[in-house]
Structure 1
């Protein structure tokens, strides 16, 4: 008996028992879809992690912070005037930039600022970076360019989700309360920026109106020399670019605001002349320390093989160091556990389907006992009988695998649409939490067929052992 005959007989046998075949295939379908969707959730989280790492500089990126806290801004504590904490300044930046295998050393200064436009207000974290540091972020600007340096005018890059941070000062309602975006064009409109957020927020008489000259504000701050209060400084700022993406396209830079570091430093030094700039360290007497200190330092190695080497050297200097490679490795181990658990849950469904296939094949043998006996009497080999039943089981697995994968893609798309539209991923992760690569489709198909063959093995073996004479006499 050749393979064409075996295929024809197997397919005809499944056709004769349509309902039973359909129910068995349905079990494999559910099992396959369960495994694929469960694993796709883990893969989706892993894909989001890869995107996050890529957006933060890739695997060659190293983040350096101060030795005793997360932002590098500490107070002086030794009576002799020497610094006991490791801080990030221009000397350190220059020293690290000259180290072997260091491609980039870009300081970052973060400060909280208030943005005003008409009756709307937003408090955001402003990150000042060097032109080289901004370029290393590989930001996809939908409009505009990176901010120019040396102009004396502060230009901002807005994340695609910064618009959702604005709320109406009168009612306190924002995008997440009303579902409506404020009538602000970040790329075209001028905004007012306030760096002295503490005094501005503490002034109970603040009226959130905009002055016409861009310098006088409605908040106030105390003048340490005269004891009088003076208006909180307000600056007119414009956007140099807006990161590409919609309100549902979450990323690391979703609600970030960037600017040129040197321009920001000049603005702060002028505004806070003789006073402590927000986020800068100070002495026990409350005086500002000399120099300018940065929140963190972004370092890029010239090759991934040198990342650990560079990181160890900086650690030995007394600074806190985090690498994207270390972060990725730690998260990979966690995701492996999550994927194993999710895959195990889905495998239970496929195990039940395997039992259904075995039951179907056993019932088929009991119903076709006389047919098997006739085949043996006519000279059909035991191998052919075994192959025929195994083919039937494999067909059930194949049909269930195909249908299961189709259902998996439908369920995956539905999950991504529901999660994306509900705003449940507003914490900064990617809205695609279910990801099905083609290798998973192929593996699930092979696995479904393999389950079918294994489930049909013992029924096929039983069919081989039937006595031809006893089978023919069977009613």
Structure 2
């Protein structure tokens, strides 16, 4: 019997028992669709978390902290192969109040000292302008101008009890403008220093829509100018008490991060990298995916009971037909193959329908769930975020299809073996 004849044989018998085969295919479809949709939740959440982490920071950046024994040595770190820059950042103690004003508008920005040359080497991008070339030039955050309030703005914000959107802050760019930097300290906010600075660069816009960057980046040499003024007010003040430094090491590319990170740890330094966090997260999601696929497979196994019953009834109903086939010379292998092909046909059709349904459910979930949550919580921002609840990658379709079709074939194997053992004489005696 040729392969085409075998397919026709299977098709004819499926047509004879349409309702029974239909319900079996339906059970297979439900089991396989449940597996895919369940596992797609893990894939969707992983994609969302990965995207969040990837936009959070540079993939080539390694944050470095002093370990229990290791001390940060910038020159030694710079000497590591594949390191492009070592950026020192210093935060100013909260007891110092930094105020910035321009054109009768003022704000209190987050102030940080940074090594401009190293930051430029690290390719930390600006949205406008360039890096400073002297100590009287500064880089400001992308939103600093919009946080510069006049007295009228402050009054409008104070009186805004209904949280309405107000048209406050500066709309004009501060690039090229001169701003006053005022340093205050103590309970009475004594003026420590006033310095006129020129804005020559504006930082890149934060990748997350909800983030507001109203910072000011000053040269590390600013600390040398500020300390004498502070000591005049409080002679016992030490530089380490005013400026808290951290270091960022930049590798040449993503592939080099792991090797550089290993060498930094060998120096007994504590480190943090986005790639390391991604590896840990991927391991967690791998376990979650495996667990959800396992739960989904149970649903497929339950559906396989229907395939087993259908095929067992098919063997019983076709006992005489099997006897005739054996009498005219059909081999046991051929008979077994025909029944396995029939169970595979049920699995294949059920899986194909399940894949189509799964994609529809996945798209519907991503579209409707944000709307439902927005309606339930009355929060408008949820509908506009980037959370993906369900993603069906190609590998998930392959895994689910292999499980579903494989289980269907195994379910038909036992009845197929039973068919090969049918006695020809007894089969032909049946009416």
TM-score when scaled to structure 2?
A: 0.71
Name the structure 2 match of 1:416. 366
Question: Which residue of the partner structure matches residue 464 of structure 1?
Answer: 420
* Root mean square deviation of aligned Cα: 4.7
Partner of 1:298: 249
CA distance in 2, matches of 1:47, 1:20: 41
Partner of 2:151: none
Kindly state the Cα deviation for residue 27 of structure 1 after the two structures are TM-superposed: 1.8
SS of aligned partner of 1:380: coil
Q: Equivalent residue for 1:17?
A: 17
- Residues 229-273 of structure 1 show CA distances to partners (whole Å, capped at 9, x for unaligned) of 67999999896543567x5xxxxxx6263867335x678887887
Task: State whether residues 127 and 258 of structure 1, in contact with CA within 8 Å, keep that contact through their aligned partners in structure 2.
Answer: no
Higher helix share: 2
Within a 5 Å distance, the mapping from 1:252-271 to structure 2 comes to 255=211, 257=213, 261-262=217-218
* Structure 2 SS opposite 1:242: coil
For structure 2, the residue ranges without an aligned partner over 5 or more in a row are 148-155
Deviation at residue 451 of structure 1 after TM alignment: 1.4
Q: Check if 1:149 corresponds to 2:105.
A: no
Correspondent of 2:305 among 341, 355, 364: 355
CA contact (8 A) 1:145 1:240 kept: yes
Distance 2:305 2:107 in 1: 59
SS at match of 1:297: strand
State the distance in 2 between where 1:50 and 1:351 align.
Answer: 33
Show the counterpart of 2:150.
none
Residue equivalent to 1:307: 260
* 1:380 matched to 2:343: no
Is 1:403 the counterpart of 2:360? The answer is: no
CA contact (8 A) 2:36 2:400 kept: yes
Which residue number in structure 2 is paired with residue 35 of structure 1? 35
Instruction: Pick closer, same or farther for the CA change 1:301–1:359 going to 2, 3 Å.
Output: same
Report if the CA contact (8 A) 1:37-1:434 is conserved: yes
Offset, 1:26: 1.8
Is 1:125–1:256's contact at 8 Å kept on the other side of the alignment?
no
Task: Say whether the 8 Å CA contact 1:61–1:298 is kept in structure 2.
Answer: yes
TM-score relative to the length of structure 1: 0.65
Instruction: Report the CA distance shift for 1:228/1:468 in structure 2 as closer, same or farther (over 3 A).
Output: closer
**Correspondent of 2:229 among 274, 292, 304:** 274
Deviation at 1:380, TM superposition (A): 2.5
Give the SS at the match of 1:157.
coil
- CA distance change for structure 1 residues 146 and 41 in 2, over 3 Å: closer, same or farther? farther
In structure 1, runs of 5+ residues without a counterpart are 69-84, 192-212, 248-253, 277-282
Distance 2:100 2:189 in 1: 25
Seen in structure 2, the aligned counterparts of structure 1 residues 87 and 148 have a Cα distance that, compared at 3 Å, is same
Distance in 1, matches of 2:387 and 2:109, equals 23
Larger Cα-atom Rg: 2
Q: Distance in 1 between matches of 2:291 and 2:122?
A: 37
Separation of aligned partners in 2, 1:158 and 1:18: 67
8 Å CA contact retained: 2:139, 2:216 = yes
What are the superposed Cα offsets for residues 401-430 of structure 1, whole Å, 9 maximum, x if unpaired? 11111122222223333555547997xx95
Structure 1 segment 156-167 matched on structure 2, within 5 A: 156-157=141-142
Separation of aligned partners in 1, 2:421 and 2:261: 64
How far residue 64 of structure 1 moved from its aligned partner, in angstroms, is 0.7
Q: Quick check: 236-245 or 42-51, which moved more?
A: 236-245
Distance in 2 (CA, whole Å) between partners of 1:15 and 1:288 is 88
What is the deviation of 1:29? 1.6
Instruction: Please list the CA deviations of residues 10-64 of structure 1 after superposition, one character each: whole Å capped at 9, or x if unmatched.
Output: 1222222222222211222222222223333333344345445544333x54211
SS at the partner of 2:141? strand
Secondary structure of the corresponding residue to residue 295 of structure 1 = strand
